[in-house]
Structure 1
């Protein structure tokens, strides 16, 4: 591919700057994004002009529109840092990522609560079972007293001292 003339280059740079302003305002074509590919398509230039070129001798030189591509990326980053999203899909992606992170935190908190409640339920059930066993034991005493116990006489006739 041959070199372009200075007038063609300046015309292309004007078209790139106009397309850059449109994209950064949020005026995106259908199916387009706020990126270098869409910028090149809107300006009518090839996308390779935004990237460095390698010569046959291995040397690297700047692409003809690389300075404009760098400016576009810099301005786009500044807009994003300011909280503005020219591409509504990028804004939606950021919103969904934040919502997803919040939901993950809520699920983790609920999992913790469920684990604590499950442990508490296990403790309560074991205590209830122990109490039920104790109640059953107290209601149904053994019919014969143990051998070491002696019976107390029920004869109240021998009162020592006054009962008043």
Structure 2
């Protein structure tokens, strides 16, 4: 029953639960006591199931699944934090460039207004392509 995954709620697939389900004192499963060979056989089968990738304890399967999910979420969070850092750096660089360009525009306007020999170019003419009549 336990090795098939039919573990009572709140219990684990272990010798303690095996003893409780058999209504036998747990100490009877250890050493040379009457059920020592059953404990050894139970643990051998349990180990074989675990090595085969099967788990008879639904809690253990849930724990394993949650550990994998947790690792994926940590990786996803790390990538998001890295992207956030890169975007913050990009934003700071863009703001610095805009500020420098703004200062240059102000400097050029002041130089133009001070009567230097900078001449403003006329606005470009737009050509209208018409049809021949």
Question: TM tier, shorter chain?
Answer: 0.7 to 0.9
Pairs aligned (count): 116
Superposed counterparts of 1:13-162, under 5 Å: 22-52=1-31, 62-141=32-111, 143=114
1:144: Cα distance to partner? 6.0
More helix, by proportion: 2
Higher alpha-carbon Rg? 1
Corresponding residue SS for 2:56 = coil
User: Which segments of 5 or more consecutive residues in structure 1 lack a partner in the other structure?
Assistant: 1-21, 53-61, 146-150, 152-164
Corresponding residue SS for 2:89 = helix
Corresponding residue SS for 2:24 = coil
Query: Cα RMSD over matched residues?
Result: 2.1
Q: Deviations over 1:120-139 (max 9, x none)?
A: 11111111111111011112
Using CA pairs under 8 Å that are at least 6 residues apart, name the structure with larger relative contact order, 1 or 2.
2
Measure the CA separation in 1 of the matches of 2:90 and 2:9.
57
1:76: Cα distance to partner? 1.3
User: Which segments of 5 or more consecutive residues in structure 2 lack a partner in the other structure?
Assistant: 118-133
Change (3 A) 1:128 1:85: same
Change (3 A) 1:30 1:117: closer
1:103: Cα distance to partner? 0.2
Partner residue in 2 for 1:155: none
